[in-house]
Amino acid sequence: MKLPVTATAMMLILGCAPAIAGDHPYAGVWGEAGADEVKENPDFFGENGCYNKFTEQLPDGRFRYYLVDHAKWISEKKVEYLLAQEGTCTVDETGKSEKCTGQVIGEKQSDWYIAYQNADTKSIRATFYENVFYFEKRFNGEPIVRQKCPFDMAKIKQFITGRTIADCTTRCRAFGKTEIEPFNALLSFIKAQH
């Protein structure tokens, strides 16, 4: 499982230099899905998708990918986000692509690449490549949309306990797109806490 990872991001995509040298231009909290998924089901894969799974991109390039503990919500009506992957992304000198190196918790480390196409204030359109060969040839990429989440880490921190997917006794997963009713109940609960 490879999972790719505001104003500064806009500046880089448009070809301007970042405001603070050394900071990762895509720092923030982002949800991500395939472009077709977002188009077909924006209520599940759009901005609300952040409550299902999200990436915290840190200014130094490190990232942490979290997913909601589906089983804990279903069985206990308790919200908990589990760390599923972590690593580092490095943006190239043009600001239009990045190489990420990460590791799903308990698995082997891997690399992937993202080429950015365009952005607005709420989303970035890009293409995900699973290896350097595909990236260099711009072949076999997956169009993705990275959505800016409607919360920051300070607001969601109360639901992060430090547990990882390695701590699950059964398979850890987020909600699937057919589970809209329990997902909507989760959304309502979390939004009421803010």
At 70 the pLDDT is 92
Q: Report yes or no: 190 and 51 within 8 Å, Cβ to Cβ.
A: yes
Per-residue H/E/C for 139-164: CCCEEEEEEECCCCHHHHHHHEEEEE
Residue ranges of the domains in the chain? Answer: 7-193
Q: What's the one-letter identity of residue 96? A: K
For 49, which DSSP code? G
CATH architecture classification, 7-193: Beta Barrel (2.40)
Phi, psi angle pair for 132, to nearest 5°: -65, -35
At 20 the pLDDT is 41
At 168 the pLDDT is 87
Q: pLDDT tens digits, the chain, 194 residues: what are they?
A: 444 443 333 333 333 333 344 588 888 999 999 999 999 998 899 889 999 999 999 999 999 999 999 999 999 999 999 999 999 999 998 889 999 999 999 899 999 999 999 877 788 999 999 999 999 999 999 999 999 999 999 999 999 999 999 998 778 899 998 999 999 999 999 989 87
Residues 6+ apart with CB under 8 A from 145: 32, 33, 34, 35, 38, 123, 124, 125, 126
